[in-house]
Structure 1
Amino acid sequence: MKLTKEIVGTTLGLVFIGSSVFAQSLDDAKKAIDAEQYQKAKSMLKNLTTTQPTKDENFFYLGWVYLQQDYPDSAKAAFNKGIAANAKSAINYAGLGAVAHYNKDAAGAQSNFNQAATLAGKSPEPYVYIAKGYLLDPNPNADAAITVLNKEIGVNAKDPNLFIALGDAYRAQMKSSEAYKAYSTALDLNPKSPSPKVSTGVLWRFANNWEDSEKEFQAAIAIDPNFGPAYREWAETDIRWANKDPKMASAKIQEAVDHYKKFLSLTDMSVESQVRYADFLYSAGRFKELQDVANSLTKYPGVNLKVYRYLGYSAYENGDYATSNTALNTWFSKADPKRVIPYDYYYQGRNTLKAGKDTAAAIQELQKAVQADTTGALSGVYGDIAGVYYAQRKYEQAGDAYQQYATKSNKATLNDYFKEGFSYYFAYGAQLSSKATPKPTPDTTLLVKADSAFAHIQSKLGTTPNSTVTQYRARLYDLKEKDRNNIVGYAKPFYEKFVTEVSGKSSLTDADKKGLAEAYAYLGNYAEYKDKDTAKATEYFTKARDNDPTNAQVQYYFTKKGKPAAGKGK
């Protein structure tokens, strides 16, 4: 369980404990938590809750460890025991509020946070954890965290943890100047803490300032060489650097793995730490290693169920679709529905597509993914949905999906726009030629949508010709004609442009010749029915016949004129 993406993990003064023997004190347990040595901290706190059952803080920190490890039910039970030990335990009410916020229970979160603030007195600690609770995924509320923190800072401006949490909240809002000021204040209040340096390094990472980011991590390690979370944040910075700079990708990904392994060596190698390593491998795109790690973790009783998610994701990426499908089915059947995220539906839908048996179910799963995604990260899924409909010749649905793909993602190519236009064009044609009873009224908005897609392509191409797009624009404008005997000529400029574009080629394909015959036949009809120019009409139809004597309109014209349709071609 993490604070909102890339926000923290390094928010307290972190101190590595190198000894294998730990004094069983709350301070030592808190230091283990700060160092992200969760298994050690949990063992110590379980002992403390037994030997000091009346001390409510023992239960809070045990609950907070559970919450960090994605066990909200266990966390809630611990917080309630803390309140049972002390009915006025502000910090345990803050814990209950955090669990409620994590579970998307806004009313429960607000009630418990209010109670924590009422009972806090002069202690700043409950306010720190109220803010941390507001920043928890999956629905961080940075505004609320900032309000709480600024109010407490107004009466207690000497606690560095308040300022670190404030910096994290501002960082969640991408307010870099405010976050930097808060971290600097925290460092001024406690110059021996490496945490503000690491937090500032993450801030530079947000700005893609890799070099300054690394300098901050190095400065943190200079303060404390065993400051594990500095290596973790450095590893995550390496990954982002690799994703943004292809030239550095290979070196930075390997460096990231090395830094993360260093982080693990400074914490513990518990199952929970291995789950965190799986988190990292997923963000690094190391799917082969991730599948191995996730598969081994499934062997542990009571392991965090998200390892099945990672096994499903990685197996899919590795082409092991059967394993992926089994793992995801396990995840969906056992996980709390509140833990399901859009990517779960995405991979499930992709697996269903690979199976090739139930495309309707696959589309339903992919649609769940994009509907649940509020970030836009999965907007590319509309392209997958469009591709399925397009292959099935469900053209109106395909057109809609391609339009959403183009609108909501930045990945659509001109070919995708062409498929959008093509789909809408053929959807209209299907309505026009439908044999259904009653016959549907063709939806002319489909032609408008098709033309918009084709026009977009031509606007991007500028003066570069694309005769195929020009031809389809001509065809769809021709469909707008209501009466051949009262031809308006909507398609005329497009067919003329098509003739110019194709005639300029050094050599013509059979498709080019058929296209020219189509264009000249249209121009011939326009000359005959609109201009009443028989000679011009014959000239155009002759050119059409020279390119394709089998063209139906050519044959009709010359048969009507009592002349043979055969021509020399060219």
Structure 2
Amino acid sequence: MMKHTIRFMVAAVLLCNVAFAQSVEEGRKFFYYEKYNSAKETLEKALAAKPDDVEAAYWLGQTLIELNDIAGAKKVYQTALQTKGSEPLLLVGMGHVELLEHKGNDARQRFETAISLTKGKDVDILNAVGHANADAPDGDAKYAIEKLKQATEVRRFKEPFVYINMGDAYRKLLDGGAAVTAYQNALTLNDKLAEAEYKIGKIYVTQGQEQANIFLKHYEQAIALDPAYAPAYYDLYTYWYSRDVNKARDYFAKYKANTDFTPSVEAEEISLVYASGDFKGAIAKADEKLQKDGEKASPKLYRVKAYAYDKLGDSVNALQNMELFFSKGDSTLFLPDNYVKMAQISAKFPDKLDQADSYFNKAIAMDTLLKNKVDYAKAASDMYKKIQNRVKSADWLTKILSIDTGYGKTELFYAGWENFYGEKYQTADSVFNLYKQKYPDDMQGYYGGFRTKWMADTSGAASGILSEAPIEDANKFIEIAGLDSLKNKSALILAYGYLAGYNANTLKDYEKAIFYLDKMISLDPTNVDAKNNRDILQKALDRPQPRADSTKKSGAAAKPSRK
């Protein structure tokens, strides 16, 4: 009887261990599929059943990090370290937290200690160090790659997630080619690893919408490898959200079926009502959910309401709900487009106009795609131009030149002329100088420079701009534009007119002035003013000049003859 009892107890312990191992593995599986609430619940149960389990503690901490509960993750690791001492995996977890707390030196010390304790031969430890540094904003991507490569050299290496983390580290360094290679290596070790295929797609997203066919293909391939991989469904849903609401709805349904149904997911479902064009319906459903869930409701609901109110032309409620969204939400919810929308709504209120710039700047700082950054700056310029603030419009078009140093003629042209119309002549002149330097054979830089200096001189705002420079720019413009005088007729007439006036009034060189007036008349024979001015100057030239010796009687200074 006693032996039977002992055998039963041993069997019970073995079964318990199997169940526990399964629960930790289940938690890790939930983590992989980004079902973080399920992972948290499962791992908390596992840790409660076995408080000294290192793996359960590590993965619970990682899950809390993904849920943006850094304090909770820190508490888990601190408690586990008190129980287990300097356990390498827990040291790495705490180092991850310290990176998120901007304590880089402390984190590095934890990582090195963990690696040292395992003699640099534990793939899991090296992988965890790589993940922490690839994931945390303050992490060292180069250090991550170094340790992950070290992991691949460990005997009998076969861990695909080392390459996943390596790819993430290369992405952090903006080395897309190396990242793709790393993800492909992960697929070599596990050809069903949807995450690797999905993340290859994410590389092409950073290259702009021109690569849509490629990254959408990789997302679809990820789903083909693993139909339960929710992140790919979500990205497909967000891509089609503003393009084809029916496709977006289909992908969202599949996403919903494969993820935790949280208040955040429910808010996304309500946002599809907005995307379908039912703005009043979206507001009603969001209000119903906010009333039902109270403080537990997703802040995304305020964003849905704000966008809907904006579509309905209710700027007051749009602003109020965007302010609630930003105050109640956290950075994980904010998208560049949200900042742009907030800037545009704010600009409708005179007392809120000053904050519009800060929101546009946040959108630019947040987005990693250069084209998008430029588009946000253009949107800012367009917004200010629409409300007749040409100075601010010019500032944003000028900023594009620093955002994208590979600017071309179009960017220089619009920045130069917007500064011109905003009466920022010094900046306009600088921009047109850049145009001339980069495109010396193009007439636009010289024409802009000539007009800017002329207007600055006329308005008395020519401080720092050489007064003789309009002549140089005007002449160079005429030289190039004259190759097609019919196409450039109006601009040439303006330049000839300026030079005629400058020579007649400033230099008193009537012959040169008549030369330019003749040029004007040849392009526009009906120009009465040009003809009248030419006649006046010709009469002045034809008028007999006083004799030099006659001036001695009156004591007047002799005038030089033009004959």
Shorter-normalised TM range? 0.5 to 0.7
- Bigger drift between 352-361 and 404-413 goes to 404-413
Q: Does 1:145 align with 2:144?
A: yes
Q: Does 1:540 align with 2:517?
A: yes
Deviation at 1:265, TM superposition (A): 0.6
Q: Take 1:234 and 1:456, find their aligned partners in 2: how far apart are those partners?
A: 49
Matched residue of 2:68: which SS?
Answer: coil
Q: Take 1:455 and 1:144, find their aligned partners in 2: how far apart are those partners?
A: 45
Deviation at 1:192, TM superposition (A): 6.0
Q: Does 1:404 align with 2:399?
A: yes
The 8 Å contact of residues 26 and 58 in structure 1, kept in 2 or not, is answered as yes
Q: Take 2:477 and 2:166, find their aligned partners in 1: how far apart are those partners?
A: 64
The 8 Å contact of residues 474 and 491 in structure 1, kept in 2 or not, is answered as no
Q: Which of the numbers 416, 420, 435 marks the counterpart of 1:420?
A: 416
Evaluate the alpha carbon distance shift between residue 554 and residue 96 of structure 1 in structure 2; reply closer, same or farther with a 3 A threshold: farther
Q: Does 1:448 align with 2:440?
A: no
- 1:432 equivalent in structure 2: none
Taking the TM superposition and a 5 Å limit, the aligned residue runs for 1:335-354 are 346-354=340-348
Deviation at 1:193, TM superposition (A): 5.1
- 1:38 equivalent in structure 2: 36
- 2:258 equivalent in structure 1: 266
Q: Take 2:63 and 2:360, find their aligned partners in 1: how far apart are those partners?
A: 35
Deviation at 1:206, TM superposition (A): 6.9
- Which structure has greater helix proportion? 2
Deviations 1:519-548 (A, max 9, x none): 436415526765844596499399699746
Which AA in structure 2 matches 1:349?
Answer: A
Evaluate the alpha carbon distance shift between residue 82 and residue 557 of structure 1 in structure 2; reply closer, same or farther with a 3 A threshold: farther
- Bigger drift between 196-205 and 110-119 goes to 196-205
For the pair shown, the structure with the greater C-alpha radius of gyration is 2
Q: Which of the numbers 511, 517, 526 marks the counterpart of 2:503?
A: 526
- Bigger drift between 185-194 and 490-499 goes to 490-499
Deviation at 1:353, TM superposition (A): 0.4
Q: Take 2:194 and 2:469, find their aligned partners in 1: how far apart are those partners?
A: 79
Deviations 1:281-300 (A, max 9, x none): 8xx98897997687777564
Evaluate the alpha carbon distance shift between residue 99 and residue 469 of structure 1 in structure 2; reply closer, same or farther with a 3 A threshold: same
Deviation at 1:129, TM superposition (A): 2.6
Q: Take 2:474 and 2:211, find their aligned partners in 1: how far apart are those partners?
A: 55
The 8 Å contact of residues 204 and 211 in structure 2, kept in 1 or not, is answered as yes
The 8 Å contact of residues 236 and 251 in structure 2, kept in 1 or not, is answered as no
Evaluate the alpha carbon distance shift between residue 47 and residue 34 of structure 1 in structure 2; reply closer, same or farther with a 3 A threshold: same
Evaluate the alpha carbon distance shift between residue 378 and residue 525 of structure 1 in structure 2; reply closer, same or farther with a 3 A threshold: closer
Q: Does 1:166 align with 2:132?
A: no
Taking the TM superposition and a 5 Å limit, the aligned residue runs for 1:68-147 are 68-120=66-118, 123-136=122-135, 138=137, 141-147=140-146
Q: Does 1:472 align with 2:451?
A: yes
The 8 Å contact of residues 131 and 165 in structure 1, kept in 2 or not, is answered as yes
Deviation at 1:490, TM superposition (A): 3.7
The 8 Å contact of residues 42 and 62 in structure 1, kept in 2 or not, is answered as yes
RMSD over aligned CA atoms reads 5.7
**Stretches of structure 2 lacking an aligned partner (at least 5 in a row):** 1-18, 544-563
Q: Take 1:201 and 1:481, find their aligned partners in 2: how far apart are those partners?
A: 53
Question: Normalized against structure 2, the TM-score is what?
Answer: 0.66
Q: Take 1:285 and 1:138, find their aligned partners in 2: how far apart are those partners?
A: 33
Matched residue of 2:154: which SS?
Answer: coil
Deviation at 1:131, TM superposition (A): 1.9
Deviation at 1:53, TM superposition (A): 2.5
Matched residue of 1:354: which SS?
Answer: coil
Percentage of matched positions with identical amino acids: 17
Which AA in structure 2 matches 1:520?
Answer: G
Taking the TM superposition and a 5 Å limit, the aligned residue runs for 1:54-65 are 54-65=52-63
Which AA in structure 2 matches 1:259?
Answer: Y
Which AA in structure 2 matches 1:307?
Answer: K
Which AA in structure 2 matches 1:92?
Answer: L
Evaluate the alpha carbon distance shift between residue 276 and residue 186 of structure 1 in structure 2; reply closer, same or farther with a 3 A threshold: farther
Deviations 1:55-90 (A, max 9, x none): 243333222222222222222222223223322333
The 8 Å contact of residues 97 and 112 in structure 1, kept in 2 or not, is answered as yes
The 8 Å contact of residues 478 and 490 in structure 1, kept in 2 or not, is answered as no
The 8 Å contact of residues 325 and 348 in structure 1, kept in 2 or not, is answered as yes
The 8 Å contact of residues 521 and 554 in structure 1, kept in 2 or not, is answered as no
Deviations 1:486-542 (A, max 9, x none): 999446526857996998489x9xxx69x9588436415526765844596499399
Q: Which has the higher contact order (CA 8 A, sep 6+)?
A: 1
Deviations 1:157-192 (A, max 9, x none): 133332332344345546566545544554454556
Which AA in structure 2 matches 1:360?
Answer: D
Q: Take 2:494 and 2:249, find their aligned partners in 1: how far apart are those partners?
A: 62
Q: Take 1:557 and 1:370, find their aligned partners in 2: how far apart are those partners?
A: 57
Q: Take 1:474 and 1:89, find their aligned partners in 2: how far apart are those partners?
A: 72
Q: Take 2:472 and 2:455, find their aligned partners in 1: how far apart are those partners?
A: 9
Taking the TM superposition and a 5 Å limit, the aligned residue runs for 1:162-561 are 162-173=162-173, 175=175, 178-179=178-179, 182-183=182-183, 185-190=185-190, 195-199=195-199, 224=226, 226-229=227-230, 232-233=231-232, 236=235, 250=243, 254-255=246-247, 257-271=249-263, 273-274=265-266, 300=293, 303=296, 307=300, 310-311=303-304, 314-315=307-308, 318=311, 321-334=315-328, 346-367=340-361, 370=364, 376=370, 377-383=372-378, 386=381, 399-409=394-404, 414=410, 417-418=413-414, 420-421=416-417, 423-424=419-420, 427=423, 445-446=426-427, 448-449=429-430, 451-452=432-433, 472=451, 475=454, 489-490=471-472, 493=475, 504=486, 516=493, 519-520=496-497, 522-523=499-500, 525-526=502-503, 530=507, 532-533=509-510, 537=514, 540=517, 547=527
Matched residue of 1:155: which SS?
Answer: coil
In the alignment of these two chains, the number of paired residues is 507
Q: Take 1:27 and 1:486, find their aligned partners in 2: how far apart are those partners?
A: 79
Deviations 1:422-477 (A, max 9, x none): 52476467xxxxxxxxxxxxxxx5563254377599979x68x9998597268359
The 8 Å contact of residues 303 and 325 in structure 2, kept in 1 or not, is answered as no
Q: Take 1:228 and 1:164, find their aligned partners in 2: how far apart are those partners?
A: 15
The 8 Å contact of residues 267 and 301 in structure 2, kept in 1 or not, is answered as no
- Bigger drift between 110-119 and 385-394 goes to 385-394
The 8 Å contact of residues 432 and 445 in structure 2, kept in 1 or not, is answered as no
Evaluate the alpha carbon distance shift between residue 420 and residue 533 of structure 1 in structure 2; reply closer, same or farther with a 3 A threshold: closer
